[in-house]
Amino acid sequence: MCRHLAYLGPTVPFGDLLVDPPHGLVRQSWAPRRQRHGTVNADGFGVGWYAAGDPVPARYRRAGPVWADESFTDLARVVRTGALLGAVRDATERGADGAAAAAPFADGPWLFSHTGAVAGWPGSLAPLATTLPPVELLSLAARSDSALVWALVLHRLRHGDYRDRAGEALADTVRDVARAAPGSRLNLLLTNGSAIMATAWGDALYYRTGPGPRVVVASEPYDDDPRWCEAPERTLIVATPADVRLTSLKEPS
């Protein structure tokens, strides 16, 4: 099923968010508390983060379990950032794509992650795949449902009138995929380092603000702070450190 988290706020070592909390993302890789599908997230992991003055994020991704990577522990201790997206992976289908299949996926300023699974993959999304230009279809990051969903989102972000409406790009992609593959679980997470967009569709999603100007959106809380709020099912979240907006997503017709 996977677990993921995005953060915007004051500059901190990213271990403060992913490693040090009692139920942080690293612990969720082997002991998630609120994961409805699957039990262990050991098929890869990744973190993407933004440096001050650089709109293009850096990434560190690996194919194996995060708990086995000593380099990640060192990075988490010393790399500081005010914006990141981290994920641990439980693969829908085992494949040979290695780290390329691990979130976050990236393009330009964007970082993206998907937790869930596309029902009937891969055949169910064949009609949607044909709507992509051949160059985009041939440039898929990996042979996975998440990579194709990301390509569909990215196509919207690059074209048409979605350039300044990233939340709607997520929402419309979720509706299209849900229509083509009913029963899919489509919790999507997207950031450009200044805002976080996320969908709750088929699994739990939480958000937290404070203390101060910060916001976290995550598959599950990394501690028991009462400021965590669960997003209703079928919801789009658009969040900045100053504001969190929730919009109901209608069922596809």
Hey, which residues are catalytic here? Answer: 2
What 8-state DSSP symbol labels residue 41? -
Assess contact for 221 and 208: CB atoms under 8 A: yes
Distance CA 11, CA 53 (A): 13
Distance CA 217, CA 7 (A): 7
Q: How far is CA 19 from CA 16, 52, 53, 72, in A?
A: 6, 22, 25, 10
Q: How far is CA 173 from CA 49, 111, 162, in A?
A: 24, 16, 11
Using DSSP's 3-state secondary structure scheme, residue 46 falls into strand
What 8-state DSSP symbol labels residue 37? S
